[in-house]
Structure 1
Amino acid sequence: MLILGAVLALVGLALTGAAAGLGAAVFQQRDQGYLTFPTQRYAVDSYAITSEQLEVVLDDDDLDLGRSGPVASLMLRATSPGPGQDVFVGVGPRAEVAAYLAGVEHSEITQIGFNPFRVTYQTSPGAQPPTTPGLQDF
């Protein structure tokens, strides 16, 4: 009975910790239910800023959570540094984005910290300007 009680106590503590973490994440959600971070400026001298690979499960058969609908939603907001300047924000498969940026100088975010805010980039050299991003099919 002592061993069973200890095992059940450990399971209860683990569930309490998970619930506390989820509760904190829900508490931090703002802007219509999105988890937000402070507004920061990301700027480089190259044509584009990219980030590391983000793996997303899109097939409900691969991840059975017992519910339907999206697992998570992502909202990005971007503004240009000056009036009249366009900003393009795109999300695409890594291989297709890499092919699009081949030969184009661009910077990839390698590390980011929020308290205090700091970001480091690795710049890939290139000599040609990118084609119009809005015309891409990814």
Structure 2
Amino acid sequence: MIIPLIRERRRREQEDPSYEKPNDFLQHLMDGGQEIHDDVETTVQRLMVTYLGSGPSTVIDVAQVLFDLCAHPEYVEPLRQEALEVLRKGGYTKQALADMKKMDSFMRESQRLRPPTLLSFNAIVIQYGMLGDAPNWPE
């Protein structure tokens, strides 16, 4: 997902004189590495190192989402298509992230089912029905 985005940005930067670089972390990594290495793989490696250094729970969350994607490859293409569609509309912005509803849902469900801490409450409905005087759980 990141590699095509980096390649597209580099292509537009070289070919389109009116291209304005996005003001985001990925662009910062791309610009900062041009003096040393100007390849896509190095930029992706820098991004992964940043994720790994961002804190244990963030690393666990990102890794768990990736594990869940590997376990459920049927979700990869719909998530990829949603990201491409949203990014085509307005680029990589905060609003674009908010517009990725499927991605948000997948990540939330991944974190809900496998939280990064043992102290989290895991609620999985095994049987539908009543909980005391509470309303019925929807099926």
User: Normalising by the residue count of structure 2, what TM-score does the alignment of the two structures yield?
Assistant: 0.26
Which protein has greater RCO, CA pairs closer than 8 Å, 6+ apart?
Answer: 1
Larger-gyration structure (1/2): 1
